[in-house]
């Protein structure tokens, strides 16, 4: 079996690829999942090998509701929750059920590059709304609403991918107000909400806490807080949307998503192992953020690069001078043994040429430090050719 073949991971020998936005293999919770599986096998139930209940197993929904009420500062009822096959599957299902080809949706500029691909698969017409350091600019959104009627806006309000920015509470409220006034849905991708790595810097309440208004569908994932291979996530939304989701043909034919994988996850929540693992993850990522920040600050490139030190999530978003081209830098960086994600990948119009996204999720501190030293050399080489 070729263990090196993993989706989204382009690993090249001798290249430290800070473009990889997923957890390092060594920190995935193997022992904890094993312990939860053993607990499950001590009292297995054939029910979970049958087709699952469409909204997801009730026992996971109950456990998750209790967990979110405590951990996400968001009182959650179990029947607000739909268990999905991860955020990607949830986005795809929402597009299937709420749009048809040619419909207009709003997205952020920048945005998660693979969400752009999902929307392209559904042949949606995308209108990009700019962001600043408070998140999506609601005045710009209001302006676009004068000429478009979007089916939904796709937003990543907390520890944004790629920018790391968190939308302010005021803007969240304004966004919800606008969605009610102009009758569009907010598809809030909140997969990083629980990953606030600095204990005193908690984000505002998630958009999930506004679902009572019936305009918010909050998409979440166990990929970032447990393991992507589980293919499990959840949607929190109002009953009317929950019913649309679970009454879909997909769920009718296949039953609820991953009922079997849901059981170790449920046990991890009930036993407190998920809470503990999350604490360990946040401590680890906080140390990595500090180390990466120090490495960047002491590199020569600090003279030309600006960024906000992230408080959560996975990413640093570097801004180079306006005329800088990170596509070109990327080619040079490859020859120096370092990779990153280039800005244009996150832009609907293939702009943002002077930006680069670095992830600290996949590599240890010594590897991150080595990567910045290589990047520094690559930037010098780039500058000497321009």
Binding site for ligand PLP (CB under 6 A): 21, 86-88, 112, 156, 161, 189, 191, 221, 223, 228, 233
CB–CB of 171/129 below 8 Å? no
* 3-class secondary structure, 280: helix
**C-beta of 56 vs 337, nearer to ligand PLP:** 56
CB of 384 to ligand PLP, least distance (A): 34
Q: Which residues contact 6 (CB under 8 A, 6 or more apart)?
A: none
Q: Is 377 helix (H, G, I), strand (E, B) or coil?
A: helix
Q: What is the Cβ-side half-sphere exposure of residue 301, based on CA atoms within 13 angstroms?
A: 27
Which is nearer to ligand PLP, 67 or 324 (by Cβ)?
Answer: 67
| Rounded least distance, CB 87 to ligand PLP, Å | 4
CB of 86 to ligand PLP, least distance (A): 3
Closer to ligand PLP at the Cβ: 332 or 361? Answer: 361
- Please name every residue paired with 218 in a beta bridge, in sequence order, or none if there are none: 188, 236
Smaller CB separation from ligand PLP, 88 or 369: 88
Q: How far apart are CA 138 and CA 169, in angstroms?
A: 12
DSSP H helices in the chain = 30-42, 58-71, 87-98, 113-121, 138-144, 169-182, 239-246, 249-254, 259-270, 273-298, 326-335, 365-385
> Could you give the CA distance from residue 158 to residue 160 in angstroms, rounded to a whole number?
5
Non-local CB neighbours of 103 within 8 Å, separated by 6+ positions = 124, 125, 151
At residue 137, the 3 state secondary structure works out as coil
Least distance to ligand PLP, CB of residue 314, Å: 7
Contact 203/196 with Cβ under 8 angstroms? yes
- Closest approach of Cβ 323 to ligand PLP, in Å? 29
Nearest to ligand PLP of 233, 259 (CB atom): 233
Minimum CB distance to ligand PLP smaller for 54 or for 190: 190
CB of 119 to ligand PLP, least distance (A): 12
Is-contact 83 257, C-beta < 8 A?
yes
CA–CA gap between residue 53 and residue 50 (Å, rounded): 9
Nearer to ligand PLP among residue 206 and residue 233 (C-beta):
233
Q: Which is nearer to ligand PLP, 93 or 299 (CB)?
A: 93
Per the structure block, which two tokens stand in for 367? 């590897």
Q: Least Å distance between CB 359 and ligand PLP?
A: 9
Smallest gap from residue 336 Cβ to ligand PLP (A): 25
Q: Could you tell me the smallest distance in angstroms from the CB atom of residue 224 to ligand PLP?
A: 7
328-342 core/surface letters (b: 16 or more CB in 10 A; e: else): ebbebbeebbbbbbb
**Residue nearer to ligand PLP on the CB measure, 21 or 259:** 21
Largest CA distance in the chain: 66
Residue closer to ligand PLP, measured from CB, 257 or 379: 257
Q: Least distance from C-beta 285 to ligand PLP, angstroms?
A: 14
The edge-to-edge listing of strands for the beta sheet with 233-237 is: 81-84, 233-237, 216-221, 185-189, 152-155, 104-109, 125-132, 135-136
């Amino acid at each position: 079996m070729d263990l090196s073949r993993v989706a989204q991971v382009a690993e090249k020998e001798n290249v430290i690829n800070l473009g990889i936005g997923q957890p390092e293999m060594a920190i995935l919770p193997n022992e904890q999942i094993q312990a939860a599986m053993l607990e499950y096998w001590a009292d297995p139930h054939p029910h979970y090998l049958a087709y699952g209940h469409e909204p997801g197993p009730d026992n996971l929904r109950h456990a998750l509701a209790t967990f979110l009420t405590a951990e996400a500062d968001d009182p959650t009822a179990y029947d607000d929750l739909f268990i999905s096959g991860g955020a990607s599957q949830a986005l795809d299902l929402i597009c299937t059920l709420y749009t048809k080809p040619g419909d207009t949706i709003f997205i952020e500029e920048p945005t998660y590059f693979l969400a752009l691909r999902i929307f392209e698969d559904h042949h949606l017409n995308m209108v990009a709304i700019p962001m600043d350091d408070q998140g999506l600019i609601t005045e710009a959104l209001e302006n676009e609403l004068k000429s478009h009627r979007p089916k939904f806006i796709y937003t990543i309000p907390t520890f944004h991918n790629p920018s790391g920015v968190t939308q302010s509470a005021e803007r969240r409220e304004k966004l919800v107000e606008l969605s009610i006034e102009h009758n569009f849905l907010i598809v809030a991708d909140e997969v990083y909400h629980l990953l606030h790595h600095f204990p005193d810097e908690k984000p505002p309440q998630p958009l999930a806490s506004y679902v009572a208004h019936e305009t918010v569908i909050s998409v979440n994932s166990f990929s970032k807080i447990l393991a992507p291979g589980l293919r499990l996530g959840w949607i929190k939304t109002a009953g009317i949307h929950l019913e649309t989701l679970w009454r879909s043909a997909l769920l009718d034919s296949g039953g609820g998503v991953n009922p079997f994988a849901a059981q170790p996850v449920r046990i991890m929540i009930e036993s407190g192992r998920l809470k503990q693992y999350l604490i360990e993850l946040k401590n680890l990522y906080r140390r990595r953020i500090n180390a990466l920040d120090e490495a960047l600050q002491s590199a020569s490139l600090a003279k030309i690069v600006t960024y906000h030190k992230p408080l959560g999530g996975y990413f640093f978003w570097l801004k180079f001078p306006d005329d800088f081209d990170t596509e070109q830098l990327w080619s040079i960086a490859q020859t120096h043994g370092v990779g990153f994600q280039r800005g244009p990948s996150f832009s609907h119009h293939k702009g943002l040429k002077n930006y680069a996204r670095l992830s600290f999720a996949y590599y240890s501190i010594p590897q991150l430090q080595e990567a910045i030293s290589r990047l520094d050399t690559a930037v010098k080489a780039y500058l000497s050719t321009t």
